[in-house]
Amino acid sequence: MKRQNTTQTTQYHRGSIIRIKMERFLTYDSVEVFPGKGLNVIIGPNGAGKSSIVCAIALGLGTAPKVLGRSKDLKDFVKIGEEDAVIEVELFNGITRANNLVIRRQFNLNNQSNWFINGRTASHKEVLQKCNEYCIMIDNLCQFLPQDRVSAFSSLNPAELLRETEKATGTSDLEEKHDQIIKAQGSIGELRKKSAQQEKGIQELKYRVDGLEKSVHEKHEQERRQTRLNQLKMKKPWAEFEEVRKKAVGLREEKQQLQQKLDSLHQEMTPVAMEFNKIKNKIESEDKKVNDTKTICDKNEREIIIAETQKEKLEQELSNKKKEVELAKKRKEEKNRNINELKNELIIIEQKLKDIPNLDELEKRANEEQVQLKGFREQINEKQDKDASLDTQLREMNGKILQLNRDLAKLNDLKQNKLRKIFDNDAAVMQAYSWLQEHKGLFEEEVYGPICVELNVSKDEYTNFVEMCVPISVLKGFVVTNKKDENTLISKLVEEKGTQIQVFKREHDNTGTQATQLRLHSEYGVLTTMDKAVIGPDAVLKVVEDMCQLSKKFICNKETEQYIERLPPGTYFTPSSVINKVKSRYSDAVSDKVNSIRKARFLSTAIDTNQKLKLEQEIKKITQDLEVVKRNIEENRKEIKMLEEKKHEIGRGIEEFNRAKGERDKLIRSKRSKENNLKLFENDEDLDKKIGDLQKGIKKIQTKINEQMLKMGDLLKRFIEAKMETNPVSCIVRILRIKQMKCKNQLNEFKRRLSELENEFRRIGQLYDDAKNEAVKKRKEAEAVCIITNELNDIFQQLPDEVSAIEEEIENEESKLKYRQNVEENVEELYQQAKNELSKKLEDAQIVNEEIKNAEEVMTGIKDEWLNKVKEVIEHINESFSVYMNQINCRGSVELDEKEEYDKYGIIIKTMFRKEGSLQQLNAHTQSGGERSVATMLYLLSLQEQTFCPFRLVDEINQGMDPLNERMIFSQIVKAVNKENAQQYFLVTPKLLSDLPFGENMTVLCVMNGKIDPAPYSFDAIIDSMK
């Protein structure tokens, strides 16, 4: 190391650690440590007990075991084989040691603790109060960062980092105000919820008040309608009486008018009746003369009618005969035409029969082709049988593939469970896996990953062991087997898409994983090495072996815990614990460390890789065979098609023979049919003879008609002579009858009118009597309902007068009342109560709104004060952090992340470790582990300058850093601790680089392994040799 020039001196601060004593604690039987007042570098090999000192500080100052992230039970810190343990921590409190504060804690395997302060029995609460007085906050990762919680600090979200920073400021006021703001915001939120609920209740109540108000109006409207209905019902009988009375008066007047009409009609009818009787007597004397002459005319008329009838019959018979002649002539023409057509058709058929080829030659050729067709049919049937067999084979193979795929899917379900777990933990792994599934064609060989999916455990009980051996960063990684695939994966996925994943390259070779060859006695309980418990692809197993050295870790039974002292160096897993035996690099001493077994998160029951490979190979083989069968089916069907085409070509001769034979048979049948029809036409009746006979009959009938015409002429002459004698007398009678008819019509009209008037008179008389009686009855009924007073008369004047209008309104009112909304009797009382309740709720809502306003004013006051102070602290931290980052040729910033909700306010650390790019938020996906450690350490240093605490501790923060970063961080720590009034600092590390700077305020505490007596040595000589 090189001494760093400094003139600053550091003093102990109140609460700095002067002394730490441990008895029967973890790896120590008894040890006492005296830290320096400045930087204390605790250095030693792994397993030597460095972290034991860290645990002693934390537990000795009242911290719960869970804060250390190592074990939740206090008993696990008692050295194996002992019953109890003692921790004693001395804190600086004055110039002399007599003023110092000594806290002692004694605890046993039952997790029971006894506390002492300066030798006096105390309680755990008193110890914590003393720590608060000395500004000691072990549970604050910004002040106390043990090894097992380094990753926890890196994984703090912005809100948690802000809370830890507030605690680290050393003033409870800042954290307390933050809590007050969060509580106030929560209270305001609750009040706003309450206000919203009140507003909702008010709206509901308003709706209810509106509804009740409508109900009140409805009730008043119903009462008004009921009153009007009663009034209408009272007026209705009086309106009915008035209508009947008016009707009776009208009928009486109409009856009087009818009586006057009857008297007038009798007077007009008398002279017409006398004239009618006079004409009637004169007609009777003239009728006797006419009847004698009429008898002669009637006889002649009957004879003329008989002669006319005979003449009409003869004319009808003559017409029928002429029609028969015309029909016979048409039949003769049609018969001759049909005979000529049949003869022509027979000539055409004969010619067609001559044109038909020789059937014997065609038949011979058809027989030859029939023999050939039989051979083709047999070949086609054979091919079709083969096609059916191949099709059956194809279905069976498809069924086998379907079943194998189902079996494979069952195995892959385990893989899907693993994928879901790892995807929930890291979205980048899910993005990478999905991208790889879509772009497999970009790679020459298979890309494996994530490793937790490819890696399987042979037995369930080994799952926890394997996951403790394989870091999560390895489980989330992907494996390639050549350089080109590695470059493709990084270029496409990491650089272009920005997906942060771990890529391992393991090229194929013939070497397998080699387990450490240790001769372990069976009585130690060693079962097997860890590499024998995992199965998976060779490339994945080799990567896991390279990264985790599974072949050097052992699976044991419960008995192994009894032989811890005898076991050689190595890592041993028992059902309940993991034992690490480490041999010192500086001596032969061996130290041991025992931890509890953690439950596995990502590895589940193993997938049978051999069974999976067997299924995949079987699917592949059957698929290949399936393609062969498909090709055979295709070729066989092509041959069937070719045979069918040849069969069709050969069958044309047979078709030609069948067609010629069918055509000949059809022509012969047609010829026979037409010859038979020709004979029928030729043998039909003699139509010429029939026509001659009909014409002779026509001449005879015409002679009879002429004779009848002469007879009718003679009868008509005698009829006319008799008729001329009766005409003069008939004319006189006809004139008298016309006059008689006229008088009769007048008399009938008078009688009809008289009868109608009498009937109408009787009807109106009856109606009048009925109306008069009805009016008397209606008046009595109306008086029974009510007696009309002046007041009631005024009401009736406002109502309709017509009964129909009254009935219509009654029906209308009754309908509205019938279908009215049911209204409670006490609706007016309910309406008033609801209005009062609404008024009360409005007052309550106003009170809540005032409370919200007041709470917001109070919160704003606290918030402004808190926020200004927080921004000031973060601004100072940012200045220091930026300077520290610049000193290591990097960039960085610390910012306040402001949100709407104050419990989500946080601190964001941004860094840029490369020359190109931009500031990126510090997280596990963007920066490497070493970069996160650098940023964490520089943040703690920046925070140290802004806050006070008596001591700070960081355990193995330099793990994962490259030498350059480690050197720069160490230099920054030395500079910070060498400043004036710097606080006490503990830096725990298993190793340090050579030629590091150091200062006067720096103390190195070396932790060695085991019970040994090292040979004498000189630190100065060692340092001189390294210069």
Q: What pLDDT is recorded for position 647?
A: 66
Q: What is the CATH number of the domain that holds 137?
A: 3.40.50.300
Q: Is residue 898 part of a domain?
A: no
Q: Looking at residues 179-191, what average pLDDT do you find?
A: 86
Mean pLDDT of the chain: 79
Q: Is residue 977 part of a domain?
A: yes
Q: What pLDDT is recorded for position 154?
A: 64
Q: Is residue 267 part of a domain?
A: no
Say yes or no to pLDDT of 90 above 90.
yes
Say yes or no to pLDDT of 607 above 80.
no
Say yes or no to pLDDT of 400 above 80.
yes
Lowest-confidence pick of 185-199, 259-273, 284-298, 829-843: 284-298
Say yes or no to pLDDT of 514 above 50.
no
Q: What pLDDT is recorded for position 86?
A: 95
Give residue-wise pLDDT tens across range 416-430: 777 878 877 788 888
Both structure tokens of 845? 């809502």
User: Among candidates 7, 10, 27, which has minimal Cα distance to 589?
Assistant: 27
**Residue 8: pLDDT band with limits 50, 70, 90:** very low
Q: What pLDDT is recorded for position 6?
A: 43
**Per mean pLDDT, which of 530-544, 702-716, 879-893 is the most reliable?**
530-544
By the 8 A CB rule, do 1002 and 977 touch? yes
User: Among candidates 901, 859, 871, which has minimal Cα distance to 169?
Assistant: 871
Report the alpha-carbon distance of residue 100 to residue 81 in Å, rounded: 33
Choose between 158 and 319: higher pLDDT: 158
Q: Looking at residues 67-87, what average pLDDT do you find?
A: 86
Q: What percentage of the chain has pLDDT greater than the value 90?
A: 9
28-33 and 39-43: which strand pairing? unpaired
Q: Looking at residues 529-554, what average pLDDT do you find?
A: 90
Both structure tokens of 978? 């060498």
Give residue-wise pLDDT tens across range 437-447: 888 889 989 99
Both structure tokens of 958? 């330099």
Give residue-wise pLDDT tens across range 448-473: 989 988 888 888 888 889 988 998 88
Q: What pLDDT is recorded for position 21?
A: 95
**Residue 1020: pLDDT band with limits 50, 70, 90:** low
Q: What percentage of the chain has pLDDT greater than the value 70?
A: 83
Q: What pLDDT is recorded for position 27?
A: 85
Q: What pLDDT is recorded for position 23?
A: 94
Q: Is residue 509 part of a domain?
A: no
**Residue 564: pLDDT band with limits 50, 70, 90:** confident
Under 8 Å CB-to-CB from 606, ≥6 apart: which residues? Answer: 414, 456, 457, 458, 459, 535
By the 8 A CB rule, do 304 and 750 touch? no
Q: What pLDDT is recorded for position 959?
A: 65
Q: What's the DSSP call for residue 408? A: H
Q: What pLDDT is recorded for position 1021?
A: 62
Q: What's the DSSP call for residue 899? A: -
pTM above 0.75, yes or no: no
Q: What pLDDT is recorded for position 596?
A: 86
Q: Looking at residues 585-601, what average pLDDT do you find?
A: 77
Q: Is residue 248 part of a domain?
A: no
Both structure tokens of 66? 């869970």
Query: Taking every pair of C-alpha atoms in the chain, what is the biggest distance, in angstroms?
Result: 196
Q: What pLDDT is recorded for position 517?
A: 43
Q: Looking at residues 785-799, what average pLDDT do you find?
A: 82
Report the alpha-carbon distance of residue 505 to residue 522 in Å, rounded: 38
Q: What pLDDT is recorded for position 516?
A: 43
User: Among candidates 720, 724, 746, 956, which has minimal Cα distance to 276?
Assistant: 746
Q: What pLDDT is recorded for position 361?
A: 67
Say yes or no to pLDDT of 107 above 90.
yes
Q: Looking at residues 28-53, what average pLDDT do you find?
A: 87
Q: Is residue 577 part of a domain?
A: no
Q: What pLDDT is recorded for position 477?
A: 92
Residue positions counted in the chain: 1027
Under 8 Å CB-to-CB from 145, ≥6 apart: which residues? Answer: 153, 936, 940, 953, 954, 955, 957
Say yes or no to pLDDT of 673 above 90.
no
Report the alpha-carbon distance of residue 398 to residue 392 in Å, rounded: 10
Cβ–Cβ contacts within 10 Å for residue 757, how many?
A: 16
By the 8 A CB rule, do 884 and 938 touch? yes
**Residue 802: pLDDT band with limits 50, 70, 90:** confident
Alpha helices in 470-520 (DSSP H): 472-475, 483-489
Say yes or no to pLDDT of 707 above 80.
no
Q: Is residue 136 part of a domain?
A: yes
Cβ neighbourhood burial of 622 (10 Å; 0-12, 13-18, 19+): middle
Give the domain range for residue 54. Answer: 2-155+954-1026
Give residue-wise pLDDT tens across range 200-249: 888 888 888 887 777 778 777 777 877 887 878 887 888 888 888 888 88
Q: Is residue 913 part of a domain?
A: no
Report the alpha-carbon distance of residue 87 to residue 100 in Å, rounded: 16
Say yes or no to pLDDT of 513 above 50.
no
Number of domains forming the structure of the chain: 1
Q: What pLDDT is recorded for position 694?
A: 74
Give residue-wise pLDDT tens across range 725-765: 666 656 666 776 777 787 777 778 878 888 888 888 888 88
